[in-house]
Chain A
Amino acid sequence: MSGLIIDSDACRGCGICIKSCSYEALEMKDKKAQVNENCVLCGMCIESCPFDAIKIEKEKTNGIELEDYKDIWVFIEQNDGEIEPVSYELLSKARELSKERNCSVNALLLGEDISKEADKLFAYGANKVYISEYEILKDNLEEIYVEFLDKVVLDYKPEIFLFGATNFGRSIAPRIAARVKTGLTADCTILEIDEESGLLNQTRPAFGGNLMAQIVCPEHRPQMATVRPGVMEAVKKETNTKEVINIDMPSIKEPSIKILENIIEKKAESISDAEIIVSVGRGIGSQKNLALVERLAELLGGKVGVSRPLVDVGWADQKNQIGQTGSIVAPKLLVTFGISGAIQHLAGISGAETIISINTDKDAAIFTVANYKVVGDCVEILKSMISKLEKKCEKEQVV
């Protein structure tokens, strides 16, 4: 029988596990912890127990031959013949992992007229590229792709299979995982090979990033994971072996989903979706300095956000306002100039990944949330940053 086991000899009845449980699944009976029917086996209590009295036991039920599975495979995602950058990031990660498993890194490249891209895959870490070129692979349709992937798992038995956590990756990976009945870990941020077991340790954020969970898939193959774009680093390095292998078309039924129209568009224009934001507050001094901020945002490929006082005085439009009464933003990079950090404003930027703040007041509240604190004159620093970036642009153009 599988389930949560509390060793009543080891349990001292301290009650810590009861506090750690979010499901009210543990209770105290006769000074010993006991589990009730609310338990979802989340495992939170196991970590909490100072006496190692709690464990989850699991029957082994799977009869597959793990040794038959080998190599690390990476699903290469293409959109309109262009390879998604995350695929290169995964290849480089796979190359790193393959050293410890002593295996090959295989890139699976599906698409129409796509073989010209194979060279790049070798450059980022693939040893072999498995390729299938058919017109039906042009649009990323799950119904068709799952048949190809099924064939790959069946014929080649990958030990590890990695996907980018793009919209399509997050749609096709679970589909194939369910087809071949294996485990899949979503949105991993850390992948490493466990020294002892040789398993793929997959670490991912849960509860909106408030908790990290390390996950393994011990008895099923392939070990599958999706990885969010930008988390791993793409590293260029030539490999000696450059083998290209063709995969035949599996049998495919007429798909029930038809694409009526494909609209390619740039990412949404609003600041709430922007990846890079340069924001500015009252500390910018004069309205004319706003042009500098706009220029910097342009150079960085970002958007301009403003704090409420600028909207109040009519220097900026409401639609650019960040904060409780404006937009809530979650950019990768936020550079703030002359924003003191009123609480309403801070509420709007709590999702930003990296915050660089420039302000004259060394005690400004914005510094309590900033990753990088710069005390200084906003306008001077702005001007200097712009001139440096502009010079760099010119140089690149000349080259």
Chain B
Amino acid sequence: MKIVVCVKQVPSTNEVRLDPETNTIIRDGKQSVINPFDTYALEEAIRIKEKIQGEVIALSMGIPAAEKILRDAVSVGADSGMLLSDRSFAGADTLATAYTLSLGVKKISEVDLILCGKMAVDGDTAQIGPELAENLKIPHITNVSEIIEINDSEIICRTITETGKRLVKTKTPVLLTVLKDINMPRLPSIDGVINSLDAPVAVENAESLGANKSYIGLSGSPTQVVKTYIPERKNESIEIKGDSETKSEKINSVIKEVI
């Protein structure tokens, strides 16, 4: 089975702070890591490979330095990585990113299964999975909490829905987005880290992928960020005063408001 795992490079923390002098936003966490949600997809792919054999390819779109996270993916068990990197990919929203990733999947070719994390911790959109599946014209299942049976042509898995759980059967090729309950990702061994240094990581650009310029990067992105700001926090707490009767009355009304 040929499995592609989509991974994104994200900063290691989501903290933002204000520069005390200039009052501008500074994002901390310059260390970049694999989006934590994607590590569950990666782990699941490796487990499938260990169970029924196959090949795991980690796929990412990003800046040249994102090659590092593809090596990280290899260090825990992926066979190779593919990085889609080109200045013309910059500024992509989810639609343009999904289009670009779909070109990568097509380049890899004959893919049976695509695994994605539930969402990225920096964007929180959870849109790439379904959008990528649509670009590839294959079905997708979101919120997979367990893969129960799998072979080259069929997968039975459990998903979480609004009202409970669902057991579904799907033919391959298919794209699944997985939840963190699905497994416990492993850490690499020293041998894994050392081997990943020489692992094959292909780098593709817009031209080698044959990308349509109007579907990639900023030009291919229908949405635009107009502004960003740090939300105001209620740091002062409101004190509820009075005798016990008044207090409880007021607390109850606050509760009513909240729920």
Contacts and interface: CB of A to CB of B under 8 A. Distances in A.
Say if the two chains contact directly (CB < 8 Å): yes
Interface stretch (A90-98, A119-127, A216-224, A340-348): A216-224
B14 interface: yes
Q: How large is the interface on A (under 10, 10 to 19, 20 to 34, 35 or more residues)?
A: 35 or more
Contacts of A301: 259
A79 B162 contact: yes
Contact of B161 (A79, A353, A370, A380): A79
Contact size class for B? 35 or more
A251 interface: no
A234 B229 CA distance: 27
Given A58-B219, A175-B133, A178-B134, A373 B237 contact: yes
Interface in A43-63: 43-44, 47-48, 50, 56, 58-59, 61-62
Contacts of A3: 87, 90-91, 218
Given A47-B228, A58-B224, A182-B222, A265 B165 contact: yes
B162 A168 contact: yes
Contacts of A56: 91, 218
A96 to B, nearest CB: 20
Interface in A123-150: 140, 142-143, 146
Judged by DSSP, the binding face of B is mixed
Given A209-B231, A256-B170, A333-B255, A22 B222 contact: no
Interface in B144-174: 156, 160-171, 174
Contacts of A80: 163
B142 interface: yes
Nearest to A218: B224
A205 B119 CA distance: 14
Interface residues of A, dominant DSSP: mixed
A236 to B, nearest CB: 18
A190 B157 CA distance: 35
B111 interface: no
Contacts of A324: none
Interface of B: 11, 14-16, 19, 22, 24-27, 29-30, 62-65, 87-88, 90-91, 93-95, 98, 121-135, 139-143, 156, 160-171, 174, 214-215, 217-231, 234, 237-240, 244-245, 247-249, 251-252, 254-255, 258-259
Given A47-B25, A205-B124, A259-B166, 18 more contacts: A2-B219, A22-B11, A23-B63, A41-B90, A47-B228, A48-B22, A142-B139, A143-B139, A167-B161, A174-B127, A178-B132, A211-B230, A256-B170, A257-B141, A259-B167, A372-B238, A375-B239, A381-B248
